[in-house]
Amino acid sequence: MFFLFFRTVLAASILGVVCCIVYAKPVGGVNLEKLSDWSIVLDASASPAEAYAAEELQRLLAEASYGVYTFLEDYLGIRFLTHDHTFVPKVGGCRVIGPVDRTVRPPLQFRWSYYGVNQQKPEFGARLRVNAVSDDPRLGGRTGLGLVTHSFHEQLPAEEYGEDHPEYYALVDGIRKLDGFYDGPQLCLSNPEVLKRVTTAVLEQLAVNPAARNVSVSQTDHDNYCRCEPCAAIDEREGSPMGSILTFVNAVADEVAKARPDVSVGIL
Ligand SMILES: [Zn+2]
């Protein structure tokens, strides 16, 4: 969760709009009278800025840029309509705004509309406070939350294990399926070795991405799920093929919770 602090006082010259400093008093130890044009004050008085770790600095940078865009929209009426068209209303030569003392708590931590232009024009995505498409801290950076998507084909690829271990994969119509749709076969989710290998792969994914705040443990994109006896028994007991999936994913999540209690496990 990040908090966007707006003890904001600014004298800005941006997009042709001139704002003036509207109040000047010490906030968080900062003498606002000494601020130059185009200044944003984030209330981070609990810790000196230089003590922040890189991750924290990136978060603060993101908050600052999102803060600017929020200010421009909410207080100056600017609208970011398309990547090449920003509506800027006339505000006159000098306009008093404020005092502004506002805290914005975004209701969504992961913001991505999956709208193509956000990726193609990440600077436009940043204006919309999309926080999942660019690593550039000047554009707000990327949240540690990722899209939850199909993952079994990466965590236990049939191309790598299928020949020696067909029993890792779904039994359908009496045969172990080693392919399926575009992202490979489903797994035999009651096989303890499958659980061990997928868990290891997931923990390795997290080890190389310590900033990650979630991880996908998701079936592949078709219904050729495993009908072997143990898998079928779980599905029968739970009343749905989701039974074997949830049992499996929860077992992986139990191990993830031990190693990375800050990480959520997502499934499709
Ligand atoms: Zn099975």
Residue 59: per-residue pLDDT: 67
Residue 27: per-residue pLDDT: 42
Residue 45: per-residue pLDDT: 47
Task: Tell me phi and psi for residue 18, to 5 degrees.
Answer: -110, 125
Mean pLDDT across the stretch 257-265?
Answer: 96
Q: How close is the Cα of 229 to the center of ligand 1, in Å?
A: 7
For every residue of the chain, DSSP letters joined together read ---EEE------EETTEE--------BTTB-GGG--SS------TTS-GGG--HHHHHHHHHHHHHHHHHHHHHHH--EEEETTEEE-----S--------EEE--S-SS-----HHHHHSHHHHHHTT--SS---GGGT---S-------HHHHS-HHHHTTT-GGGB-EETTEE----TTT-PPB-TT-HHHHHHHHHHHHHHHHT-TT--EEE----SSS----SHHHHHHHHHHTSTHHHHHHHHHHHHHHHHHH-TT-EEE--
Q: Output 67 or 77, whichever has higher pLDDT.
A: 77
Residue 58: per-residue pLDDT: 65
Model confidence at 115, in pLDDT bands (50, 70, 90)? confident
Q: How close is the Cα of 223 to the center of ligand 1, in Å?
A: 13
Confirm if 66 and 146 have CB atoms less than 8 A apart: no
Q: How close is the Cα of 168 to the center of ligand 1, in Å?
A: 8
Q: How close is the Cα of 146 to the center of ligand 1, in Å?
A: 29
Share of the chain above pLDDT 70, in %: 77
Q: How close is the Cα of 205 to the center of ligand 1, in Å?
A: 25
Q: How close is the Cα of 204 to the center of ligand 1, in Å?
A: 24
Taking only the tens place, the pLDDT of each residue in 192-248 is 999 999 999 999 999 999 989 999 999 999 999 999 999 999 999 999 999 999 999
Token pair 């997502």 is at which residue?
266
Q: How close is the Cα of 74 to the center of ligand 1, in Å?
A: 55
Q: How close is the Cα of 199 to the center of ligand 1, in Å?
A: 17
pLDDT surpasses 70 at 127? yes
Q: How close is the Cα of 36 to the center of ligand 1, in Å?
A: 66
Q: How close is the Cα of 78 to the center of ligand 1, in Å?
A: 56
CB atoms within 5 A of ion ligand 1 belong to: 188, 190, 226, 228, 231
| Nearest CA among 216, 221, 214, 219 for reference residue 231 | 219
Taking only the tens place, the pLDDT of each residue in 14-73 is 332 323 233 333 344 445 454 443 344 444 444 444 444 566 666 667 777 888 888 899
Pairing of strands 264-266, 214-216: parallel
Residue 67: per-residue pLDDT: 83
- Pairwise CA distance, residues 3 & 201, whole Å: 33
Taking only the tens place, the pLDDT of each residue in 163-197 is 999 999 999 999 999 988 778 999 999 999 999 99
Q: How close is the Cα of 235 to the center of ligand 1, in Å?
A: 10
Q: How close is the Cα of 19 to the center of ligand 1, in Å?
A: 65
pTM, two decimals, is: 0.71
- Domain extents in the chain: 4-110, 152-266
Model confidence at 97, in pLDDT bands (50, 70, 90)? confident
